[in-house]
Amino acid sequence: MTGWTWEYEGYAPADARLRESLCTLGNGYFATRGALPECAADEVHYPGTYVAGCYNRLTSEVAGRQVENEDMVNLPNWLPLRFRLPGEPWLTPDTATVLDHHETLHLAAGLLERSTRYGLGTGRALLVRQHRFVHMADPHLAALRTEFTAEGFSGTLETEAALDGGVTNAGVARYRDLDGRHLTHVLTGTAAADTVWLRCRTRTSDVRVALAARLTSGASVRNRHDRPRALQTTRLELAAGRPATVDKIVALHTSRDPAISDPLHAAVDRVGRAGGFDELLVPHLTAWHQLWRRAELDVPGEAGRILRLHLFHVLQTLSPHTADLDVGVPARGLHGEAYRGHVFWDELFVLPYLNLHFPEVSRALLHYRHRRLERARIAARDAGGRGAMYPWQSGSDGREETQQLHLNPHSGRWLPDHSHLQHHVGSAIAYNVWQYCEASGDEEFLHTKGAEMLLQISRFWADSASYDDRLGRYRIKGVVGPDEYHDAYPDAVGPGLDDNAYTNVTAAWVLTRTLDVLRGLPEPRRRELDERTGLDAGELDEWDHLSRTLHVPFHDGVISQFEGYGELAELDWRGYRRRYGDIRRLDRILEAEGDTVNRYQASKQADVLMLGYLFSPTELQGVFRRLGLNLDERTWRRTVDHYLHRTSHGSTLSGLVHGRVLARARRADAWKFCQEALQADIADIQGGTTGEGIHLGAMAGTLDLVQRGLTGLETRGGALWLDPVPLPGLSSYGFTLRYHGHWGVRLRLERGLLEIAVPSSGRSPIDVHLPDRTVRLQPGETDRLVLPA
């Protein structure tokens, strides 16, 4: 890797899917994996194209049960372009001789370049060079340029480009028992001498999809149709050493798009009016230049290069185009089919970064949650409760999409999945509402949609709590925490745990913040909200009392992950590492042995320690004080140590959270976990999962680690609060942010100095609070501050 490129040398079939994920190109509306255009989907390659928010629901028979799943749909493949000498097989790197192969992802330009020399025998070779982009200025366009150069011969080369509607969802091996045939009614046709089209629809959600492709070259183009494919063929006359070029321009629309009458008409019209490859490239490059300027990040060395790759993939998944869409944060980006494209709590790691660069995108993502507020209220009512019970996994309409069964690849058994009990996702949504409004100053959203979500989430928590006379406190029972390993007590008949500390503490925080918001509403708006929701003073008093009396369990002087956690057995960590090596997915190992992780003090990822990720030490201590509990530095340090030695890190989020928590505690081992977070996808540390889609939360979280974690940056009370921590592996860095209407505020930390520059504007000054002083910067001012040792 270099500063602005990501490069792969040589053809390596075993790494193909990892490369395809990391070389995905997208624009927030759709993305296409970085597969080679001449390769079809097989055990090595997996081309995939995904439109944000395009889902379909199918029923499959699994382990003798009818199981319903909703998936982000793999749409018709626009990439195919294959080639051969007349009468010879089509050339692919798996069937022909590859003399050399090189792929370069140009981050600054959003451009994927490949160069392959195929050996043809008797001193002949064919050099294939390609450039492709998914247009960042026009979200419905993509382009592929291919240059063929004959080496050591002259002659004819046959090429065949296609739009392929015969695709299925088959990118995740453990899902292959499920029905992946999401497309139906595939039709193809010719729009012009150089243009073909394909249209289809999803089988149950009835989303209409249309693509149109225009092929240009120095030779005539012949169109033909072999459903489910629209084909365009050419015969190029190659002269030795002289490149011949074929350009493919594609437009993609669905019936979910605004301001169109018909997807097919829109796609054909758009591709017909689009310029050529070079003409389209100019606004695409401009759009990327503007994105990089708004998200400027300056971190030296290898860490900076990886962070830039992470930022690239975040921007491809959630770009300014996202602000016009009804979509959530897909946990694996638009890069593959893992987690079926569902929306989890990963936005908790994504929105804090976006808030300070692209607040319009954060607002749109929160709108996705608000549009599904009524569905969350229905879920709570169906469960016999009140308020809003948001789903752990969400898709098109906000119903619970968590699978009923999941496959353990170690044992081959399908097992019940109880992760839908992770009701803490509601607190994540509330946290994001609060953080967005604090960072953006968007009082209109806070007083309307934000207040409505906060109210209903608080109502759910209040309804979920029950009073325990013995403890003299309220308890929340039958949940699952962020750890996910533990979903029941040993030998229990049913699932669920009592008083998960993370759940209860964040519920108390949500109740407190909701009270703050409601008390600060303008009186007319407050009256409207009371009338619409039946809210009264008695309910607010109940929430206030509950926010002070929720139970938080402790054992041996540390916060317990849940009630009874301290009574679980200790695991032989050394023995299991010796036997299995990689024990990140300890739950699968134990189940295959006929055991269960529910018996042990062993966590998949940070659970209690998530509290130290979300809240500054001061704020976390304040939440505990409100609960009548003392969380001093010594208790928190013991708690960190306890779980640090009992976590298998079976999630890419785990290293991220531990790195940030340890950095805030000024621990020397923080950098080791930060490095693991940086390596999570590029090194595929979870053993093959990145090839199924990147881990968007972990990628965005590493960006926020620099932005808020190391700087101690908080946006509260109409001011910026900074409390930087030294991290030997990352002692010099800078970035820009957007805060309360100020664009391009620049922060730089280096060798004990903090520089803050506020660009000129007509906005109010920014107050900046440091541990030992407060400064006020007017627009157009720059200040250099010496940090306390």
Q: What is the amino acid identity at position 626?
A: R
**What is the rounded distance in angstroms from the CA atom of residue 56 to the CA atom of residue 74?**
10
Instruction: Count the neighbouring beta carbons within 10 Å of the beta carbon of residue 314.
Output: 25
Q: How many CA atoms lie within 13 A of 346 on its CB side?
A: 27
Strands 49-51 and 30-32, by their bridges, are antiparallel
Please give the sequence-ordered ranges of beta strands (E in DSSP) within 688-741, or none if there are none: 714-716, 719-721, 732-739
**Which of 160, 484, 563, 692 is flagged as catalytic?**
484
Helical packing angle, 696-704 and 301-317, nearest 10° = 130
Eight-class DSSP state of 610: H
Contact between 335 and 25 under an 8 Å Cβ cutoff? The reply is: no
784 membership: H or E segment, kind and range: strand 782-786
DSSP string, 145-211: EEEEEEES--EEEEEEEEEE----S---GGGTTS----EEEEEEEEEETTEEEEEEEETTT--EEEE
Strand order in the sheet with 5-9: 5-9, 97-106, 111-121, 124-134, 141-151, 244-254, 208-217, 195-202, 183-192
The residue assigned the tokens 């100095």 is 753
Provide the sign of the torsion angle of the four alpha carbons 517, 518, 520, 525, taken in this order: positive
Tell me, yes or no, if 484 is annotated catalytic. Answer: yes
116 membership: H or E segment, kind and range: strand 111-121
Contact between 499 and 507 under an 8 Å Cβ cutoff? The reply is: no
Helical packing angle, 359-371 and 373-382, nearest 10° = 40
Retrieve residue 41's tokens.
């989907």
Residues in the chain, total:
789
Which of 688, 192, 740 shows the shortest CA–CA distance to 441? 740
DSSP string, 335-396: S--GGGG-B-STHHHHHHHHTTT-HHHHHHHHHHHHHTHHHHHHHHHHTT--S----SSB-S
Helical packing angle, 523-533 and 451-464, nearest 10° = 50
Q: What is the amino acid identity at position 538?
A: G
**What is the rounded distance in angstroms from the CA atom of residue 60 to the CA atom of residue 47?**
24
Residue 617 preceded by cis peptide, ω within 30: no
Which of 150, 154, 114, 116 shows the shortest CA–CA distance to 132? 114
Beta-carbon contacts of residue 450 (< 8 Å; ≥ 6 apart): 366, 433, 434, 436, 437, 517
The burial of 3, by beta-carbon neighbours within 10 Å (0-12 exposed, 13-18 middle, 19 or more buried), is given as exposed
Phi, psi of 509 (to 5 degrees): -65, -45
Please list the active-site residues. Answer: 484
